[in-house]
């Protein structure tokens, strides 16, 4: 089916360090060439980890191209067995739509990505997915390209916008896929499932550019072993070990890259910078008009004149980290309770009884989810050795190498180097709080 598309839809080829050559169809290239999309060149994929790993300066731009590419591969794999039951028009509709979903899924990220979500967008009742959904409808260039190039495939800006924000529960009335027993709700799992194209790409790309070395899992087999199962995607049971290696890659990548102790210290500085920036810059004016939102990136955020005197600005520009890690505890949440950073900090503040300046330390509580599909306890599997193939559900965490906890609770105590005289007092209080709170039972 893809071969037939290639005969009548113009495309170009670009080189990617992971996938080799990536095909760009004409409408995709036109969207990529818009200023709204080019802005992603100025949003780093790892806004804090690149301070730790010098090579990790890759961007949301290249990640988005990668997700688009393998999303198309995934969709093709799922529909190929039904070439006589699904029309060419229907195939083209979903093929181009799913690729566009992958291409634009990060279009709404602001400076410092997820930190901008929590420090700024959340306070405006928004997140980067909602912003991406708005951009594809409200940016006249992107909307016009979609309307002009894709109306023949029944794709509109509104169609794409809905895909960008739909939760799993919102696929309540999905369309049937041709004459098959399956429906389009299964496509949710391509970008947001347990082994989604988003996760597959960022694990490979982030490990490549950091050099961390945990990105070597057989993603081809995960995709080729996937099958439609009504409103789900079922993985061939013979690929369970491949799934487990993917899980291991994610677990070690989070530990080495995303939750690296110094990356988390930088995240803290970025968050404080953005919180202080909120008091000086009216970010609501940027999100009200998506053309203004294009002006926000990781270059411009340093050069707003109103923000020049914020101390954290100089820390980020000069990579001056005033903190050092003085204590760290780790617990599986299947045994202990999880507290947020604010909750833990408040308990520590009570123990210190005002004897220590609050700015002398901060507590970081990254909660490493070992299962990528948060809230999903089981994965759909298919045994293709039986006739007919047998569908079953397996607990995600019961891997072939043993059961893993749902997540790991890491509690870190950072001390500002200027307040070294308070270290013993803070460490002692930290130990008391950890010991007291880990006696609580978790809700998992």
- If asked whether residues 229 and 351 sit together in one domain, one would say no
pLDDT digits (tens, 9 = 90+) for 191-216: 999 899 999 999 999 999 999 999 99
Q: How confident is the model at residue 182 (pLDDT cuts 50, 70, 90)?
A: very high
| pLDDT in the model for residue 443 | 36
Q: Does residue 381 sit within a domain? A: no
Question: Residue 437 maps to which CATH number?
Answer: 3.30.70
Answer whether residue 318 shows pLDDT above 70.
yes
Q: What is the pLDDT of residues 71-123, one digit of tens each?
A: 999 999 999 999 999 999 999 999 999 999 999 999 999 999 999 999 999 99
Assess whether 218 and 330 both reside in one domain.
no
Tell me the per-residue pLDDT of 338-378, one tens digit each, with 9 for 90 and over: 677 888 888 898 999 888 999 999 999 887 666 555 456 78
CA distance 161 to 105: 10
Average pLDDT over residues 383-402: 88
Residue range 244-266: average pLDDT? 92
Judge if 25 and 131 occupy the same domain: yes
Is pLDDT above 70 for 240? yes
Average pLDDT over residues 399-407: 75
Q: Is residue 290 part of a domain?
A: no
Rounded Cα distance between 332 and 430, Å, is 19
Which has the higher per-residue pLDDT, 354 or 182?
182
Spatial separation of the C-alpha atoms in residues 29 and 11, rounded to whole Å: 8
How does residue 400 score in pLDDT terms, banded at 50, 70 and 90?
A: confident
| Chain mean pLDDT for the chain | 91
pLDDT given at position 441? 40
> Is 100 in the same domain as 211?
yes
Rounded CA-CA distance 26/437 in Å is: 56
As a whole number, mean pLDDT of residues 426-432 equals: 93
Give the model confidence (pLDDT) of 25-44 as tens digits: 999 999 999 999 999 999 99
Element (H, E) at 318: helix 311-318
Our count of domains for the chain comes to 2
pLDDT bucket at 306, cuts 50 / 70 / 90? very high
Query: Is the domain of 245 the same as that of 97?
Result: yes
- For the cut 70, the answer to whether the pLDDT of residue 156 exceeds it is yes
Cα separation, 142 vs 28, whole angstroms: 10
Whether 425 contacts 355, CB under 8 Å: yes
Give per-residue burial for 387-400: e unless 16+ CB within 10 Å, then b. eeeeeeebebbebe
pLDDT band at 171 (very low <50, low <70, confident <90, very high): confident
What does the alpha-carbon distance between residue 318 and residue 320 come to, in Å, rounded to a whole number? Answer: 5
Residues 419 and 350 in one domain: yes
Domain extent at residue 341: 323-370+405-444
Last residue of a domain, one of 214, 247, 262: 262
pLDDT confidence of residue 444: 32
339 in the same domain as 412: yes
> Which residue has better confidence, 368 or 419?
419
Residue 149 included in any domain: yes
Model confidence at 437: pLDDT above 50: yes
Structure tokens at 319: 């990579």
Whether 5 has a pLDDT exceeding 70, the answer reads no
* Partners of 23 in the β-ladder: 13
Q: Of 262, 281, 296, which residue sits at a domain end?
A: 262
Residues 84 and 214 in one domain: yes
- Quick check: helix, strand or coil at residue 139? coil
Are 151 and 240 found together in one domain? yes
**What percent helix, strand, coil does the chain show, rounded to 5?**
55, 15, 30
Residue 192 domain-assigned (yes or no): yes
Lowest mean pLDDT among 94-103, 296-305, 397-406: 397-406
Is pLDDT at 175 greater than 50 in this prediction? Answer: yes
| CATH label of the domain that carries residue 26 | 1.10.3210.10
Q: By three-state DSSP, how is residue 108 classified? A: coil
Q: How confident is the model at residue 330 (pLDDT cuts 50, 70, 90)?
A: confident
- Considering 234, 262, 290, which residue would you say is the last residue of a domain? 262
Residue 283 binned pLDDT confidence (cut-offs 50, 70, 90): very high
Q: What is the pLDDT at residue 372?
A: 57
Q: Does some domain include residue 289? A: no
pLDDT at 369: 66
Domain identity same for 192 and 337: no
Q: How would residue 233 be classed by pLDDT, with cut points 50, 70 and 90?
A: very high
pLDDT band at 2 (very low <50, low <70, confident <90, very high): low
Residues 6+ apart with CB under 8 A from 223: 70, 73, 74, 77
Task: Based on the fold, state whether residues 238 and 110 are members of the same structural domain.
Answer: yes
Whole-number percent of the chain with pLDDT over 90: 77
Residues 244 and 337 in one domain: no
The pLDDT of residue 316 is 98
Query: Is position 296 within any domain?
Result: no
pLDDT(440) > 80: no
Q: Evaluate whether residue 62 is within a structural domain.
A: yes
pLDDT top residue among 64 and 375: 64
Report if residue 126 sits inside a domain: yes
Read off the tokens for 324: 């050092």
With bands split at pLDDT 50, 70 and 90, how would you rate the model's confidence at 169? confident
């Amino acid at each position: 089916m893809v071969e037939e598309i290639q005969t009548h839809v113009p495309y170009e080829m670009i080189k990617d360090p992971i996938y080799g050559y990536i095909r760009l169809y004409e409408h995709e290239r036109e969207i990529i060439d818009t200023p709204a999309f080019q802005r992603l060149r100025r949003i780093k994929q790892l806004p804090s980890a690149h301070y730790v790993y010098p090579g990790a300066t890759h961007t949301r731009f290249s990640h988005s191209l990668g997700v688009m590419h393998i999303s198309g591969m995934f969709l093709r794999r799922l529909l190929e067995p039904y070439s006589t039951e699904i029309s060419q028009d229907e195939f083209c509709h979903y093929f181009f739509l799913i690729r566009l979903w992958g291409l634009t899924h990060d279009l709404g990220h602001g400076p410092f990505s997820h930190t901008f979500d929590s420090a700024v967008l959340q306070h405006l009742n928004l997140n980067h997915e909602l912003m991406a959904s708005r951009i594809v409808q409200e940016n006249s260039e992107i909307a016009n390209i979609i309307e002009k190039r894709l109306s023949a495939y029944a794709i509109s800006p509104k169609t794409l916008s809905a895909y960008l924000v739909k939760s799993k529960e919102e696929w309540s009335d999905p369309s049937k896929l041709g004459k098959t027993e399956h429906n389009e709700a299964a496509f949710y799992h391509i970008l947001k499932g347990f082994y989604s194209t988003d996760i597959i790409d960022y694990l490979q790309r982030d490990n490549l550019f950091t050099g961390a070395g945990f990105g070597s899992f057989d993603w081809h087999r995960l995709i080729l072993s996937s099958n439609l199962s009504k409103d789900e995607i079922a993985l061939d049971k013979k690929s369970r070990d491949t799934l487990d290696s993917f899980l291991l890659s994610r677990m070690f990548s989070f530990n080495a890259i995303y939750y690296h102790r110094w990356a988390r210290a930088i995240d803290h500085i970025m968050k404080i910078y953005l919180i202080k920036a909120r008091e000086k810059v009216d970010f609501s004016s940027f999100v009200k008009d998506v053309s203004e939102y294009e002006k926000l990136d990781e270059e411009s955020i340093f050069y707003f004149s109103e923000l020049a005197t914020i101390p954290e600005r100089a820390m980020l520009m000069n990579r001056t980290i005033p903190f050092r890690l003085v204590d760290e505890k780790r617990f599986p949440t299947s045994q202990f309770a999880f507290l947020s950073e604010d909750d833990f900090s408040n308990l520590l503040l009570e123990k210190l009884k005002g004897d220590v300046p609050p700015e002398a330390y901060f507590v970081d509580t990254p909660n490493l989810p070992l299962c990528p599909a948060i809230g999903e306890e089981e994965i759909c599997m298919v045994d293709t050795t039986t006739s007919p193939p047998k569908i079953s559900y397996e607990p995600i965490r019961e891997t072939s190498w043993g059961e893993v906890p749902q997540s790991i609770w890491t509690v870190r105590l950072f001390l500002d180097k200027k307040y070294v005289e308070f270290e013993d007092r803070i460490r002692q209080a930290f130990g008391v709080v950890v010991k007291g709170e880990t006696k609580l039972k978790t809700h998992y």
